[in-house]
Amino acid sequence: MSSTRVPAIMHVATPALSVVEAALAAGYDGVMIDLQHGEIGLDQACTMLRAIPRGNSYAFARAAGLEPGAIGRLLDSGARGIIAPTIETAQQAEQLVAATKYPPLGRRSLGPSRPALYDGPDYCVAGNAMVATIVQIETAAGVEAAAQILAVDGVDAVYVGPADLAVSYGLTGRADWAEGPVADGILRVAAAAREAGVRFGLYCSDPAFAAAEIRRAELDFVGIGIDLMFVGRQARATVAALAAALEEKS
């Protein structure tokens, strides 16, 4: 990864180790294995995490909720970051910290299924430093409470989901808003992140828009692209190209 480039993360909703390997081989810095949407179950996600090199800091998993047992299994299988969706209160952020951090900061239980996940003389201290606790803000309520959420001790990063954020403002659920309440909300969360000293990430669908947001909102990492959408887009383009070629020959 170039030191001048913001890390790029691909959302993976297909339960396949090969998709994870393909994304990393294509140049993505990491992936977000998505247990909230798509078809990936907990057992599958734990297996998919093993397709990611142990030293990759962007081996993220988005949990379906705040259930500590499921989060613990993902971490024990090698997830280096847990994203929790729809965080709207400091109390929810505290629940996430409790599930992702070892004592005394949290209540994560010791018991990794992958050996020697964290290097250091104090395993709990090393684990807490190496695992990113990431709150996902994706509603108007979350934006309003961003300062309180990001002030919770143990929160390492915030990730904004623009489509759900748009819906919460009564708009069409899509990514890539250059203006309006979604764009304003993103900047409010970015300012709260800088104030709290936590990393800031945003999902984008268009590379040019992502580049503009990296500069405008000073992103620390960017989510860009979803495996199923890539397949659908390329499939439509291929079928259309075939139809056009047949049309030319007729």
Domain membership of residue 1 (yes or no) is: no
Domain membership of residue 3 (yes or no) is: no
Q: What is the pLDDT of residue 159?
A: 98
Radius of gyration over every alpha carbon of the chain, rounded to an integer in angstroms = 19
- What residues are paired with 84 via a beta bridge? 135
Domain that holds residue 150: 8-249
**Tokens standing for 247?**
């049309």
Q: Which of residues 12 and 38 earns the better pLDDT score?
A: 12
Cα–Cα distance for residue pair 65/235, rounded to 1 Å = 32
Q: What is the pLDDT of residue 90?
A: 98
Domain membership of residue 121 (yes or no) is: yes
Nearest Cα neighbor of 59 from 87, 40, 82 is 82
**How do residues 192-212 score in pLDDT, each as one tens digit?**
999 999 999 999 999 999 999
Domain membership of residue 32 (yes or no) is: yes
pLDDT band at 5 (very low <50, low <70, confident <90, very high): confident
CATH code at 25?
3.20.20.60
> Has residue 3 got a pLDDT over 50?
no
The answer to whether the beta carbons of residues 115 and 41 sit under 8 Å apart is no
Mean residue pLDDT of the chain comes to 95
Cα–Cα distance for residue pair 174/10, rounded to 1 Å = 17
Mean pLDDT of 112-135: 91
Our count of domains for the chain comes to 1
Q: Which residues are catalytic?
A: 37
115 φ, ψ (degrees, to nearest 5): -70, 150
**How do residues 176-186 score in pLDDT, each as one tens digit?**
999 999 999 99
Domain membership of residue 2 (yes or no) is: no
The model carries a pTM of 0.94
Q: What is the pLDDT of residue 2?
A: 37
**How do residues 157-183 score in pLDDT, each as one tens digit?**
999 999 999 999 999 999 999 999 999
Nearest Cα neighbor of 36 from 177, 213, 201, 164 is 164
